[in-house]
Structure 1
Amino acid sequence: MQHWKLNLIVLWFGQFLVMSGMTMIIPFLPLYIQEFGVTNPDDAAVWAGIIFAANFLTAFLFQPLWGKVADMYGRKLMILRSGFGMAIVMTLMGFSTAPWHLLLLRLLNGMISGFMPAATSLVSANTPKEHMGFAMGLLQSGAIAGTIMGPFIGGLMAEWIGFRAIFYITGTLLFAATLVAWIFLREDFNKKRAMASSSLSIAAGYKQLRRIPQLPALFGVTFMIQFSLLSSMPLLPLFVQELQGDAERIALYAGLVGSVTGLSNMLASPILGRLGDRIGSERILKISLFGAAITYVPQIFVENIWQLLAARFFFGMFVGGLIPSVNSLIRNHTPEGMEGRAFSFNTSFLALGNMVGPTLGGIVAVWLSIRGVFAIGAVMLLLNAWWVHQKLRAHPPHSHNLNETRP
């Protein structure tokens, strides 16, 4: 088997396990916190929100550092560092006896994370250009599959084996997946080129990448995508309650609404990625942004749960073309030897969107209702499509030569 295909298979499973491990705590996190003596449901909910968001905060801050290290010493090393580190931290969460223990461990988990950008960078650097879109789409589907299955697996395991054992099992699986990556991953890493870029600080590296007009635009697109997607996510159970009015089935329907977008996303990502290899990732990104905006609009006007499910399914199909296309375009416009930093900066913008989106979405919902949040999301995606068209049209693809970007 060609190395790039073997890498893709190994990292697909790695992405799946990392994302499922990160999200499987969602169904039982407030209940786990209550075991520490936090009996007030409101207090448990506040702790759960802070603990869940803590990971994104430190990930946003530390991703550029790991991107620089990846460019200096290789992406495989960063995958192993992140994988083994998260396996240890996840296992330690099972030994927590107070909410602040979990908070510190989630902060630490964000600090040492970096599996996804390192995996994306390794795949992008070792995959033939004609297969780049397909590879990015398939890699994205692994992350989405983990995001979908994580809460479902976590809920089942909580019923069968209890909360603490879930952390032990997840840590063990992450360790095993990283061990497989250690054995089977192959990376073509140019040490001479790495030495040429190793002297740049994080700030200097960002300044150098910023001179390539397409990259700041793509980083901004990533933020706006996550912002528009996550702004409505925490509000969906309340919207389902408004539509359904049947208290006994709200949790079931809220779960379906939350997962149907991820399901169609997972199915569409490899297909749109392969299509991007034929007609260009830039065109797929524009089509996906426009399609996501159009399919966001019906969610404003739905009157029953089935209409919402249908709208979210088609919305997820277009979302499946967004992140893979952005990743492919970042690779196309990033100088050789700086891929790790470029993808890490992009991940920082993604984490920022994950933090800011739900916060502002809740504020907007108070002023304009949940339907108003959908309307703003649709407008932001349309603006995104226009921005991509303006920024990427105005500049030709950048040459992949590190020295050309030096002052």
Structure 2
Amino acid sequence: MEIWKRNLYILWFAQFMVLAAMNLVIPFLPLFLQHDLGVSDPVAAQHWTGWIFAANFLTAFLVAPLWGKLSDKTGRKAMLLRSGIGMSIVTLCMGFVASPVQLLALRLLNGLISGFVPAAVALVSTNTPKEKAGYALGLLQSGAVAGTILGPLLGGLLAEWVSFRNIFRVTGLLLFGAAMLVLLFVREVNKPQSKPKAELLPNEETGLRRIIHTSPLPGLFLTGFLIQFAMMSTNPFMSSYVQELWHSGAFMSLMVGVVISASGISTMLFSPLLGKWGDKIGPQYVLLICLIGTVVFFIPQGLVHSVWPLIVLRFLLGMCIGGLIPSVNNLIRKHAPEGMESQTFAYSTSAMNLGNLLGPIVGGALSGVIGLHGLFFMAATLFLMNTMWVKYTLHRAQSPRMLLSRLLQTKL
């Protein structure tokens, strides 16, 4: 098997393990706070849950560029091992906490150590032939989505069999197992070659200055931020929306699970296909088409009066979501300055983490003003703004007729 394919398949499974492990704790976190850490007030437990959940994104947003810069010097595989082993140790320690403050501190520390996903993206993108990059990044994205979908399900099942504290220990073991997969089976061929200081030109820009002055990277960072912000402004409130629509009340938990997983399943299925399509027609075209699709499928979600059409719309939305982040990553890979790929991906990850952090906060604040239905219209508006931004930054010189002609001339 070609090395890039072996790396891709191993990292698909490793990333699946990491995302599944990190999402094992989501279903039972409020219960853990109430039953094991003594937070008896349900309202206080919800507040602690929000802060503990967001803590990881906050510190990850702050330090991702530092890890990216180090990755461009030491290699991406080293960053995968650092992150996997570090997070496994911190997560094992979470099983021994005695207060919410201790758990919050460890979640902040976990964000500082994290970086497995951007390191995996950087390694795959720099060790894969350019003509296969879209397919590879799309397939890698499907592994992350699969872990995100199955993680809460596995966590809910484990909570029925073992104690809450033991779930943290299982999570730590899964993270360590992912790191061992990388150690034993991933081979980094295109390792970073640091440029001697003597070879640097006097006026040559380095670091962030060079990245932000490389077009269209700043626009792609904003695109990634808006994608995550729009998605996270609605996702945390999906269970409340289903409760509003599912009038019978029976099988409520099942319906919530079906609605939430519908978009994830279609994203997992279509990410590799859309990535492969991007290799044929260009990722900028796939990105624009999928952004238009998200606008089309988000608007009617705010108009439905039943769960069943919501499930269909979530599935169609997930199909479009599957082409967004892989296309952004593929474009970043194409335009990143040579030798600074990991740094560039790290800044993109920071932008997305900021969207993950601010989306639920803004969505929660506005839900009481515009209602749950209004959140979907807000998300559609954000995706429409994103569509116009991408059209301006990546397709400025092309008319809609030229874009359509380009698509029609390309065979799927």
* TM-score bin (small chain): over 0.9
Q: What's 1:386 paired with?
A: 388
Is contact 2:292–2:384 with CA below 8 Å preserved after alignment? yes
Is contact 1:94–1:165 with CA below 8 Å preserved after alignment? yes
Q: What's 1:405 paired with?
A: none
How far apart in 2 are the matches of 1:167 and 1:197? Answer: 49
How far apart in 2 are the matches of 1:144 and 1:127? Answer: 21
Aligned-pair identity (%): 49
Cα distance per residue 1:40-59 (max 9 Å; x no partner)? 11111111111111000000
The equivalent position to 1:326 in structure 2, one of 325, 328, 347, is 328
Partner amino acid, structure 1, of 2:17: L
1:75 maps onto 2:76 in alignment: yes
Q: What's 1:108 paired with?
A: 109
Query: Which structure 2 residues correspond to residues 285-296 of structure 1 after superposition, within 5 A?
Result: 285-296=287-298
Is contact 1:228–1:380 with CA below 8 Å preserved after alignment? yes
The verdict on how the C-alpha distance between 1:106 and 1:197 changes in structure 2, with shifts beyond 3 A counting, is farther
Is contact 1:72–1:194 with CA below 8 Å preserved after alignment? no
How far apart in 2 are the matches of 1:127 and 1:279? Answer: 18
Q: CA deviation at 1:118?
A: 0.6
Q: What's 1:399 paired with?
A: none
RMSD: 1.9
Q: What's 2:176 paired with?
A: 175
Partner amino acid, structure 2, of 1:259: S
Is contact 2:18–2:178 with CA below 8 Å preserved after alignment? no
TM-score under structure 2 length normalisation: 0.92
The equivalent position to 1:370 in structure 2, one of 372, 381, 384, is 372
Is contact 1:197–1:337 with CA below 8 Å preserved after alignment? no
Is contact 2:72–2:192 with CA below 8 Å preserved after alignment? no
Cα distance per residue 1:160-200 (max 9 Å; x no partner)? 11211111122112112211211111112445445569999
How far apart in 2 are the matches of 1:299 and 1:205? Answer: 42
Q: What's 2:233 paired with?
A: 231
Query: Which structure 2 residues correspond to residues 94-105 of structure 1 after superposition, within 5 A?
Result: 94-105=95-106
How far apart in 2 are the matches of 1:80 and 1:206? Answer: 25
Cα distance per residue 1:89-141 (max 9 Å; x no partner)? 11111111211111111101100000011110010000001110000000000
Question: Matched residue of 1:360: which SS?
Answer: helix
Partner amino acid, structure 2, of 1:225: I
Query: Which structure 2 residues correspond to residues 161-200 of structure 1 after superposition, within 5 A?
Result: 161-193=162-194, 195=196
Question: Matched residue of 1:49: which SS?
Answer: helix
How far apart in 1 are the matches of 2:42 and 2:378? Answer: 31
Query: Which structure 2 residues correspond to residues 180-329 of structure 1 after superposition, within 5 A?
Result: 180-193=181-194, 195=196, 205-329=207-331
Partner amino acid, structure 2, of 1:110: G
TM-score under structure 1 length normalisation: 0.93
- How many residues matched? 394
Q: What's 2:408 paired with?
A: none
Deviates most, 144-153 or 165-174:
165-174
Query: Which structure 2 residues correspond to residues 55-94 of structure 1 after superposition, within 5 A?
Result: 55-94=56-95
Partner amino acid, structure 1, of 2:388: W
How far apart in 2 are the matches of 1:371 and 1:206? Answer: 39
Deviates most, 283-292 or 359-368:
359-368
List runs of 5+ in structure 2 lacking aligned partners.
Answer: 399-412
